[in-house]
Structure 1
Amino acid sequence: MPTAPRARPPLRRRLGLPSAIAIGLASMLGAGVFVVWGPAARAAGSGPGLLAALAIAAFLAYCNARSSARLAALYPQAGGAYVYGTRLLHPAAGFAAGWAFTVGKTASGAAMALTLGAYLLPSHPKALAAAAVVAFCAVNLLGVKRTAVASAVFAALTLLVLGAVVTAGLTGPVAAQPLGHTHPWGTLTAAGFIFFAFAGYARIATLGEEVARPAWTVPRAIAIALGATVAVYALVAVTALSVLGAGTLAESTAPLADLAGASAPALLPLVSIGAGVAVAGVLLTLLAGIGRTVLAMARDGRLPRPLAAVSGRFGVPWAAEVAASALVLLLVSAFDLTGAIGFSSFCVLVYYAVANASAVTLDRRAPLPWIGLGGCLLVAASLPPASVLGGLAVLAAGGAWFAFTERRGRPAAG
């Protein structure tokens, strides 16, 4: 006679509103604000095009956030859109969301680790990147409250650095260089790049199983974190355009460093440290988010079941956390930052497309989920061809794995 499956240990609800906001801010106010403006300006073709792209990315993020908040309140479980798609659409849709999130964010995690190394230890960037992944994995294994506290520190330091750079830019000399004309399709491509900098608010929904009073906390935390981030990004973009112009911005690989160099060279070391701190905040919460999605998929047998192990002492999915961190470490050894933003954005836009499609089933007359769904697909298609083809290849590989697990037959989740 088969033995009854052991009950799954639940995650612990330890996050209140301030902690959830801190995680959301640290997830968004990270590496994106330090790197996206160059490729976005090149794609947009002009200052107005860049600002239009920022508006499109922000509105798309708002639509996604509304859908994510509503779904997270109804299904306060680890896994985010993987859970929503599986429950409300089809297991294949949920798997596509979870697969896209896991692969895209794992690659993004490797890119963030390498960026951290490049800013803080340019002579040995991969060594620092690997050490950072190990250290942040250890922090996450100590419990989600440690993650929230560290996120609050990272977000506060990032805001201080951005405030100093913006203040210097607004009070310094102006040497703006124009760039061409706005291209409508290029504006959508730029929106896709900028969306990379916003794609962090879902971390709050992904951690929904660890949020106290999720129906009340999650929507408020997402709205506050996203609103604050939009305001900061708009201020940074306007300042960079007024000081550097779209022409100089388009050629920049370190836009905020160039902004500081043009207005207050003494701030350059602060910008490097600030960028490193910001990337650290993203990497910390990114590893936590990947771990929760892997946990949810392993619980359902979509990934190996041992990955669903949860620590009885700290209440965290330790096996999924360690596996995600190990994969990021492997990618660090061979990953190149070039194209990472586009690839990650494509995968994350697929993830949010599933979230919006799930939200549509709750109220087919509500316009925002439809706008979010169409916007995600349109912006994803507008990304560079290499990013689109790479993302489609990843989805095809995931589809093959899904078909394999379906044919093999999954035991009942337990």
Structure 2
Amino acid sequence: MNTSSPRSGPVRSLGTADAVAVGAAAMLGAGVFSVFAPAAEGAGAWLPVAILIAGVLAYCNAVSSARLAARHPESGGAYVYGRERLGDLWGHLAGWAFVVGKTASCAVMALTFAAYLLPGWERPLAAAAVIVLTVVGHRGVRRPPVAVWSLLAVVLATLAAVVAAMLLSGRLAAVAEVDGMGPWPGSFGVLGAAGMVFFAFSGYARVASLGGSVRDPRTTVQRAVTLSIGGVLLLYLVVGTGLLIVLGRERLITSGAPMTDAVLVAGFPWLVPVVAAGAAVACLGALLTLLSDVSRATAVMASRGHLPRPLALRRGRHAVALRAQVLVAAVVIALVLTLDLAAAVSFASFGILVHYTVTNASALRLGPDETRPPLLVPLGGLVGCVVLACSLPLPVVGAGTVVLALGSGLWWLAGRLPSRD
């Protein structure tokens, strides 16, 4: 993306197609390759309903984020929105939840990459991937439009190959013969599954924050949000439903690499390396960017005294917060060595849902002259985030609550220590 001098401001060089590609590429990462297995355990045959709920919630959150970004263009997302609209504590909790949720997301991406590339060696390979990408990220991360389009093309081609294999297998035509799906799983089963699937949509925030980079931002961002989330939702419905039918619930919920198992069951074993390569590109591309994002968010919170200030120190030609990078990488490695994929997905979703709870609450405070979205959008997003977060597995909700309490304690402690600004 081209930029001009500080005097003239950024060049608004992205059109609708570029903005849609940015949003779709951010969403089509590790989630589509990993979330359907743990989600199917709770939702069973109602997995498509869980996907639909997650997509609608993602749309509400994206609209709220876009309207807030227009009023608060500085970087920080809900960390800024919560502080400006609700108070310092809420901003801190939003930032803390972002760091926690996205750190767990990094673990999901690393584990998914390893599960597709080298089954049986997931943990050591995932840890090695985190180390390598942290070293690469030390030089700074940039994603020009051509890289976004290339990544999106690879992932879409991989998913198209999987869908084609499932269609050609003939199993999708025999829906009525598929057994083992189980009865109605209950509201918590479907909503908990929706909370997990929500993880696969979480990259939509990138398109919601493109206001300073697109032509005619008022219409382009809204159009890009609708098109990117709508397109990804349709793709997830096709892929998730196909996996459920082709593999059946019991095999799907025990699969570490559902796409690989699907092409094997469909009778196309030669597609296994293609699927593994596509999953690796999607996961590593997203992981490289997200490690940088989490480190940057950690450094920003540290610079404001909400985390230990040494984490804010930036060094080198690329002004990278090295200590924050090392700390984030160490935590991610600890997670991949201790959590399984389902637990990592659930914990990541919990943190992200809390983050967007603050976003929607902040959007409710927008005035009529501040392009406030229709009341149903932030209200639905707020209620949806709370409900889905509380519907996740009970151990995850309990652990997440403890982590949020720890974050609140850090905020309280920071307010009582003398400032060294």
TM-score range, shorter chain: 0.7 to 0.9
Are 2:293 and 1:289 aligned? yes
Aligned to 1:262: 265
Structure 2: gaps spanning 5 or more residues? 1-5
Of 278-287 and 59-68, the range deviating more from structure 2: 278-287
* Aligned residues of 1:73 and 1:214 also touching (Cα < 8 A): no
Alignment of 1:87-102 (within 5 A): 87-102=84-99
Aligned to 1:201: 204
Following the alignment from structure 1 to structure 2, what is the Cα–Cα distance between the partners of residues 282 and 92? 30
Following the alignment from structure 1 to structure 2, what is the Cα–Cα distance between the partners of residues 266 and 26? 26
Q: Deviations over 1:145-178 (max 9, x none)?
A: 3476544433321111100010111121216334
Aligned to 1:234: 237
1:340 alignment partner, one of 324, 341, 344: 344
Alignment of 1:240-255 (within 5 A): 240-255=243-258
* Aligned residues of 2:116 and 2:257 also touching (Cα < 8 A): no
The residue identity in structure 2 corresponding to 1:346 is F
How far is the alpha carbon of 1:66 from its aligned partner? Answer: 0.5
Following the alignment from structure 2 to structure 1, what is the Cα–Cα distance between the partners of residues 226 and 141? 21
Aligned to 1:5: none
* Aligned residues of 2:115 and 2:256 also touching (Cα < 8 A): no
Distance 1:276-1:378 versus aligned 2 partners, 3 A rule: same
How far is the alpha carbon of 1:94 from its aligned partner? Answer: 0.8
* Aligned residues of 1:78 and 1:292 also touching (Cα < 8 A): no
Structure 1: gaps spanning 5 or more residues? 1-8
How far is the alpha carbon of 1:252 from its aligned partner? Answer: 3.2
Alignment of 1:57-206 (within 5 A): 57-122=54-119, 124-146=121-143, 150-174=147-171, 176-182=178-184, 183-204=186-207
Distance 1:63-1:301 versus aligned 2 partners, 3 A rule: same
Q: Deviations over 1:172-221 (max 9, x none)?
A: 1216334122222211111111111111112455x769846795565455
Following the alignment from structure 1 to structure 2, what is the Cα–Cα distance between the partners of residues 15 and 380? 37
Distance 1:326-1:153 versus aligned 2 partners, 3 A rule: farther
How far is the alpha carbon of 1:14 from its aligned partner? Answer: 7.9
Following the alignment from structure 1 to structure 2, what is the Cα–Cα distance between the partners of residues 60 and 340? 21
How far is the alpha carbon of 1:310 from its aligned partner? Answer: 5.5
Following the alignment from structure 1 to structure 2, what is the Cα–Cα distance between the partners of residues 301 and 107? 23
Are 2:367 and 1:353 aligned? no
SS at match of 1:244: helix
* Aligned residues of 2:354 and 2:385 also touching (Cα < 8 A): yes
Following the alignment from structure 1 to structure 2, what is the Cα–Cα distance between the partners of residues 130 and 19? 33
How far is the alpha carbon of 1:124 from its aligned partner? Answer: 4.7
Aligned to 2:3: none
Aligned to 1:328: 332
Distance 1:16-1:357 versus aligned 2 partners, 3 A rule: farther
Following the alignment from structure 2 to structure 1, what is the Cα–Cα distance between the partners of residues 194 and 85? 29
How far is the alpha carbon of 1:75 from its aligned partner? Answer: 1.5
Distance 1:212-1:329 versus aligned 2 partners, 3 A rule: farther
Distance 1:250-1:312 versus aligned 2 partners, 3 A rule: closer
Distance 1:15-1:142 versus aligned 2 partners, 3 A rule: farther
How far is the alpha carbon of 1:42 from its aligned partner? Answer: 1.6
SS at match of 2:416: helix
2:390 alignment partner, one of 381, 386, 392: 381
Aligned to 1:25: 24
Aligned to 1:42: 41
SS at match of 2:182: coil
Of 260-269 and 387-396, the range deviating more from structure 2: 260-269
TM-score by length of 1: 0.85
Following the alignment from structure 2 to structure 1, what is the Cα–Cα distance between the partners of residues 94 and 315? 26
* Aligned residues of 1:72 and 1:214 also touching (Cα < 8 A): no
Following the alignment from structure 1 to structure 2, what is the Cα–Cα distance between the partners of residues 191 and 97? 21
Distance 1:196-1:287 versus aligned 2 partners, 3 A rule: same
Aligned to 1:3: none
* Aligned residues of 2:33 and 2:257 also touching (Cα < 8 A): yes
Following the alignment from structure 1 to structure 2, what is the Cα–Cα distance between the partners of residues 300 and 212? 30
The residue identity in structure 1 corresponding to 2:397 is V
* Aligned residues of 2:50 and 2:194 also touching (Cα < 8 A): yes
How far is the alpha carbon of 1:274 from its aligned partner? Answer: 1.9
Q: Deviations over 1:99-155 (max 9, x none)?
A: 111012112212322332332234654444344324433554444434765444333
* Aligned residues of 2:260 and 2:275 also touching (Cα < 8 A): yes
Following the alignment from structure 2 to structure 1, what is the Cα–Cα distance between the partners of residues 302 and 215? 25
Q: Deviations over 1:49-102 (max 9, x none)?
A: 111111111000110011111112222222211111011111111111111110
TM-score by length of 2: 0.84
Are 2:409 and 1:403 aligned? no
Following the alignment from structure 2 to structure 1, what is the Cα–Cα distance between the partners of residues 241 and 265? 15
Following the alignment from structure 1 to structure 2, what is the Cα–Cα distance between the partners of residues 328 and 200? 19
How far is the alpha carbon of 1:348 from its aligned partner? Answer: 0.8
Following the alignment from structure 1 to structure 2, what is the Cα–Cα distance between the partners of residues 377 and 320? 29
* Aligned residues of 1:119 and 1:276 also touching (Cα < 8 A): yes
